[in-house]
Structure 1
């Protein structure tokens, strides 16, 4: 039993600890606020120095980089710092005559050097010092305004032409696309980590763009108004007299019975030009419907959406999807995807999703890494792009979807993976991301690791069709132990800071303190009927007998997993079985073999999958 002095000592200790804790919180908040205020002040100072409206300067930066400096590392387009000042080597410039590509590559090559000349600061300083980088961007805007014969006015509406020129694109479509987004941001306002653009009514003087003397490109493409897009057809020809052909199939979707259910997001692992050439000039047996460049988001349409591009490595998914390639690398040094590319791609996806009635969720807007194999063996060879650093949260925000909003109605044990940058991967826990053993950045990763037990000392889960090892790895291409932003799973239980879910036939745990990495959701849940395991497929193909009857050989619907009784997976829709029996130069309706089997799509593991509707209950 404590005496009077013991109670007094404890009270003082508690009070002191509380005051110390509050002081630490106050200092942390103050430091964060000071950092944000510092950035806001740097924009204001640079705007004043070069006589540029601060909202124009801030919005240009926001639409280039979301106010991220990326620690001095370049984007895929060769842009540095918060203003995305570009320094592309001459060797990266190609001599292609396809309008958009020439403009994108040649005019965006040296804004960094121009900014250095205008500010008197070194190229190295402009790359690595945020304040200097902002001044470089302000100096460029002022230079373009004067080059157009305009005054350095405080009226934000009078800077439209200078903003177009800042985009560094030589086509009216791409330059206007960028400028329109800049003014849209000013109109709506923007806020991030304490840095703020207050909303303001705008009416930009778009006639200024005529003074910029930008070239234009012809229409006849399938995309939203204002998107910088051109038609560059993929190769389509017979390669021999035995029926070998490529690089895509003619169809008449969805009128021929092939509903377009998915949009598949890829990254090229090449330059924009190399991807274009691969699809359009070589017998590569691969293609995409669209390719988006990292430089201001210019787009090449290569296979019309009604036709079937060869992009996903799964014929069923190919038959029911549109493939979009993005210039970039899933994990190379510090390279990062540009905001212009995200914006162009999101505008395109919104247009296509509305046109073909594709749901804007992560079971239908999927990465190549979410596409299942058709057989257990093919699971090992399936791709893993767009990879660890594709910002699904921001991408869906551009699509008008907030993963932190509860969606649907029904089962309440569903959770959406919404990783918090401070909690999904932590260095203190020993977590890391690797590329052949080389450590990659934790920041910007889009997933949570999945463990066998609720502990960082536990092994990561593994998949039998990816590795023979008992545990998963931290390698960037190991998709088997990662649950990604926006995916939804059934919550089994909770143990302290750890959440347990059904995942790929296993019980998987991930670190989730105070639900920092998830958002509660509602929807439909799929579970097996009865007491026996059921088959899980990578397609919704008709029966083997129906395929044989239609003289389709070499195709057999093969289970890739089993779902055990009592397991639960999130419902992604119901489809009727079909098979696209394609032939060169033929888009006849009878090429689509329609079955009668009903399949239910689920989010099974990292990838989507299908189960027969007769085998499950949906509640």
Structure 2
């Protein structure tokens, strides 16, 4: 197409405006990070705290993210995570008053206010003030231990442990170890840098970790305690709870680790699993301290996922906090403890560290179409899968570089993946929630923000999806993989739950090329999709299992392709109280392929499909 001539002055003016805007935006971003760097320097100098140590404590608490003044699920504010649970306000349609202990560890803002002379409001909302509050606390702890305000990083170990606010020696020690590991490795993010430091991990006798390693299943150094869940027969009719004895992985392979959040306090979760409630998890992780309670041994089957097949083949980990109510971000202490635990368990039980095997409760399918709508959606919109996997040494953004592969990994930037100027939002019964920190991209029927969102037949009776926090039918989450079938400008088209769906992907900002295998139906017939890999009805009946029928939940149409997640052989755990006999596991002959179907994983029979590399 021939372009009409335009005056040179108009072109130069436009160019000048572009350059000025670009410089101003870049300068603003640079100024913001430069200001925080300067704020660390000033606070460190004023309170005579080594600046690298101050930065490392801050990074271990918040990764230098102020979260726009929003509290964490533990009531912590700002880059130093100064706590004030009395000021924690709830938001959302299902907001409720939450009982929290009146411990000093949950009110460090008040202590910091006394030490600095700054108001609690300033410490919550102003980053410079927040950093000063953290520095003042570190100085106070160092002096209270009778130690000098030295530049020697190693002499601050006990003060750092006290900064954790933990009454648990193991948890305080673990916090300090994480900080000193950051110092040793160095860190650089958002224009702030810690150069690698020569440090020796010096453990004062006052903070030696508790000796629990012999009685728990977890990595060395993790602040973990054995707190058994209830296991009891409730009557003489076969009613019992809250989990099943097994001999995994000898009788059944452990294929998954399921991530949950409690929607209660840590203690309330422990109490819940210790009473006749027919629910448990193998582990519970606290938000304030990162302490871990092991409640059901990994070899046993906890009742946590709402899908008996997934329960039988998974380990469930609950995390203290609220997916959207109260706080808007999960604590670094919790992420680090949980990631260390998952990495340990994955190694112990040969579980792949990917998003088809390390899954959220929201990724667990229902066993029937009717069950789909009632399945849970935690850990929710604000669980940072990107950071979580990076703590396990896995980079899900790693481009695998094959130009002929149609497989992509969903990798949105949690700070910019949803765009307010396009009208995108996240809601809780119509109440707006933050965009920043969300972990997904919305899926549209057409490549346009004016198009309707796709809908899942088993979640909504409507034709369009919603922006509601629990509407999993129109969301593709970080780390999930799909088959790309089209591209139109800034929009990418994928196969998702039997539909063609589009997501906004300018210059590939929200996806990464990947390799793997694709599953597609054989021939010209639709293929059944299941929420389990159960044996056939014939085998189940032969073993006197009643009330269990492998039920299709969807139908894959010919030509549709889904990313392969591994092969499993059919089985069913026919559990009984006080029995872990191998005979309880009923084995079938059918082979199933796991796939990433929509927001949730699913299974297809291997004989019904073909498998190809991409």
Cα separation, 2, equivalents of 1:580 and 1:557: 14
Give 1:11 shift.
Answer: 2.7
Counterpart CA distance in 1 for 2:364 and 2:605 is 18
1:118-177, CA deviations, whole angstroms, 9 ceiling, x for partnerless residues?
A: 111112211111111111110110111111111100111111110001001122210111
Q: Report SS of the residue matched to 2:215.
A: coil
| Cα offset, 1:509, TM superposition | 0.6
CA drift of 1:53 comes to: 0.3
Supply the distance in 2 between the matched residues of 1:116 and 1:423 (Cα, whole angstroms): 33
Aligned: 1:265 with 2:259: yes
- Cα distance in structure 2, aligned partners of 1:217 and 1:610: 39
Partner of 1:246: 241
Instruction: Choose which of 558, 566, 582 in structure 2 pairs with 1:589.
Output: 582
Structure 1 equivalent of residue 96 of structure 2: none
Of stretches 414-423 and 308-317 in structure 1, the one that deviates more from structure 2 is 414-423
Distance 2:86 2:481 in 1: 43
Q: Distance in 2 between matches of 1:603 and 1:345?
A: 24
In structure 2, the partner of 1:227 is 222
* CA drift at 1:213: 8.5
Q: How many Å separate the matches in 1 of 2:18 and 2:402?
A: 41
User: Which aligned pairs between 1:91-240 and structure 2 lie closer than 5 A?
Assistant: 106-206=103-203, 209-211=204-206, 219-240=214-235
Residue 420 of structure 1 and its aligned partner are, at CA, apart by 2.5
The answer (yes or no) to whether the contact 1:498–1:510 under 8 Å persists in 2 is: yes
What's the counterpart of residue 96 of structure 1?
none
CA distance in 1, matches of 2:214, 2:110: 34
Query: Would you say 1:279 and 2:273 are equivalent positions?
Result: yes
Given the two structures, how large is their TM-score scaled by the length of structure 1?
A: 0.94
Q: Which residue of 1 aligns with 2:306?
A: 313
Q: How far apart in 2 are the matches of 1:409 and 1:202?
A: 42
Counterpart-to-counterpart distance in 1, 2:101 and 2:595: 40
Cα distance in 1 for partners of 2:352, 2:111 equals 45
Displacement of 1:193: 1.1
Partner Cα separation in structure 2 for residue 581 and residue 287 of structure 1:
18
Do the aligned partners of residues 173 and 570 (structure 1) sit closer, same or farther apart at CA in structure 2, a change above 3 Å counting? Answer: same
Cα drift, residue 10 of structure 1: 2.5
Structure 1 position 204, deviation (Å): 3.2
1:288 aligns with 2:281: yes
User: Contact between 1:411 and 1:524, CA under 8 Å: does it hold in 2?
Assistant: no
Distance in 1 (CA, whole Å) between partners of 2:8 and 2:562 is 51
d(CA) in 1 for partners of 2:17, 2:401:
44
Q: Deviations over 1:366-392 (max 9, x none)?
A: 000000000000001000000001111
Distance 1:277 1:396 in 2: 30
The 2-side partners of 1:104 and 1:419 are apart by 37
**Deviation for aligned residue 1:587:** 0.1
Q: Residues of 1 paired with 2:403 and 2:577: CA distance?
A: 46
Matched, 1:390 2:383: yes
**Conserved in 2, the CA contact under 8 Å of 1:409 and 1:523?**
no
Match of 1:27 among 19, 24, 28: 24
- 1:403 is aligned to 2:396: yes
- For residue 495 of structure 1, the aligned residue among 488, 492, 495 is 488
Secondary structure in 1 matching 2:297: coil
Post-superposition offset of 1:295? 1.1
Alignment match, 1:61: 58
1:544 aligns with 2:554: no
Give the distance between the partners of 2:282 and 2:481, measured in 1 at CA: 28
| CA 189–262 in structure 1, closer or farther in 2 if over 3 Å, else same | same
2:93 is matched with which residue?
Answer: none
TM-score scaled by length of structure 2: 0.95
Aligned length: 600
1:457, CA displacement in angstroms? 1.0
Unpaired segments ≥5 residues, structure 1? 93-102
- In structure 1, which of residues 525, 532, 541 is the aligned counterpart of residue 525 of structure 2? 532
Aligned residues of 1:104 and 1:296 also touching (Cα < 8 A) = no
Between the aligned partners of 1:450 and 1:508, the Cα distance in structure 2 is 6
- Note the C-alpha offset of 1:73: 2.3
Which residue of the partner structure matches residue 565 of structure 1? 558
CA distance in 2, matches of 1:212, 1:323: 30
More off after superposition, 27-36 vs 243-252:
27-36
1:205 positional shift: 2.5
Q: In 2, Cα distance between the equivalents of 1:279 and 1:212?
A: 30
Are 2:43 and 1:50 aligned? Answer: no
1:17 matched residue in structure 2: 14
Q: Which moved more, 1:164-173 or 1:340-349?
A: 164-173
Distance (whole Å) between structure 2 residues aligned to residue 223 and residue 211 of structure 1:
23
Task: Pick the aligned partner of 2:459 from 459, 462, 466.
Answer: 466
Paired residue for 1:445? 438
- Contact 2:209 2:221 survives alignment (8 Å): no
Note the alpha carbon deviations across 1:516-538, whole angstroms, 9 max, x for none. 11011111111111001000000
Deviation of residue 72 (structure 1)? 2.3
Taking a change above 3 Å as real, the CA distance of residues 215 and 142 of structure 1, as seen in their structure-2 partners, is farther
Alignment partners' CA distance in 1, 2:414 and 2:356: 23
Deviates more, 1:582-591 or 1:326-335: 326-335
1:38 aligns with 2:35: yes
Distance 1:407 1:590, change over 3 A: farther
Equivalent residues in 2 for 1:349-364, closer than 5 Å: 349-364=342-357
1:553 to 546, 556, 559: 546
SS in 2 for 1:412: coil
Q: Deviations over 1:468-501 (max 9, x none)?
A: 1111100000000000000000000001111100
Secondary structure at the aligned position of 1:322 is classed as strand
Identify which range, 288-297 or 403-412, moves more after superposition.
403-412
Gapped regions of structure 2 (runs ≥ 5): 90-99
The answer to whether the 8 Å contact 2:402/2:513 transfers is no
Q: For the residues of structure 1 that align with 2:107 and 2:300, how far apart are their CA atoms?
A: 39
Q: Distance in 1 between matches of 2:70 and 2:341?
A: 28
